[in-house]
Structure 1
Amino acid sequence: MTHPAPDPVRLAGEITRQLGQLADHLSQLPPREATQVIARILDPDNGVLGGITHLVATGSVFAKDQAERGALPAEVWLALGRAANELHDITLDLDEHKDTLQRIGAHPATTAAKPPAPAPLVVRRRR
């Protein structure tokens, strides 16, 4: 017997709740584990950010169809399209750091190792 598809509104609520739990856990994790979780979240193919980007892009396609039918204002479709594009750009920006995060998360912590030197934070924007 097949199971019926879950209620999409309930599913969205459950995913939102679980994302909140993940954020709470992330704030409590040791650095190595937190880095592993962040690397997994930011994975463009299988991560949370890629999934959310895909979800917003799918919503944009739906909104375009509804805007063309007159059921939604065009501004809704345009806003969703911009959001999908911005998320995609952010995913590309973060993808270049994926290997670093995975490498740092994979190395076991050593107590005898010299602690990493803090790096000055530099703000740079590329778009």
Structure 2
Amino acid sequence: MSHPTPYPVRLADEITRQLGQLADHLTQLPPHEAMQVIARVFDPDDGLLVGVTGLVSVSSTFAKAQAERGKLPAEVWLALGRATNELDAIGGDLDEHRETLRRVNTQPATTTATAPAPAPLIVRRRR
């Protein structure tokens, strides 16, 4: 008798599938809708990036406990910890754009008579 796949594993598979669908849709959306999707994904309060960062952080904590028991190599825990830190840093980089993301996320689709001015693609960061 085969064991049924646990719900959390099915949930992870479904989320992964839906993320692929979202990426596919994003390439085909009109610009204003694509920007709304991007703004929601990277919303610094409760966007997808925040959720993924939290998931990786919890995974790192679990991996640490398993590494201490000898069930996982310590390198797995360390890699998950580094991934958590990197994702958190990305979220930090996006924090300075919090209001822009909120505005794009709540902005209704409009058709303007004048096209927006193009923005320079090279921006120097303050460090």
Aligned residue type for 2:48: V
SS class of match (2:27): helix
Q: Structure 1: any 5+ residue segments left out of the alignment?
A: 1-5
**1:110 paired residue number:** 111
CA distance in 2, matches of 1:56, 1:35: 26
Q: What displacement does 1:91 show?
A: 0.8
Task: Give % identity.
Answer: 71
Q: What displacement does 1:101 show?
A: 2.7
Q: What displacement does 1:35 show?
A: 1.1
Q: What is the number of residues matched between the two proteins?
A: 121
**1:73 paired residue number:** 73
**1:3 paired residue number:** none
1:4-28 superposed Cα distances (whole Å, 9 cap, x missing partner): xx61111111000000111111111
Matches within 5 A, 1:1-127: 7-105=7-105, 106-112=107-113, 114-122=114-122, 124=124
Alpha-carbon contact 1:36-1:102 (below 8 Å) kept? no
Alpha-carbon contact 1:42-1:95 (below 8 Å) kept? no
TM-score scaled by length of structure 2:
0.85
Q: 1:123 to 1:78 in 2, by over 3 A?
A: farther
TM-score scaled by length of structure 1:
0.85
Q: 1:45 to 1:101 in 2, by over 3 A?
A: closer
Aligned residue type for 2:111: T
Q: 1:47 to 1:73 in 2, by over 3 A?
A: same
Alpha-carbon contact 1:39-1:98 (below 8 Å) kept? no
Runs of 4+ in 1 over 6 A off after TM superposition: none
1:78-107 superposed Cα distances (whole Å, 9 cap, x missing partner): 000000010011011112213213323405
Aligned residue type for 1:109: T
Q: Structure 2: any 5+ residue segments left out of the alignment?
A: 1-5
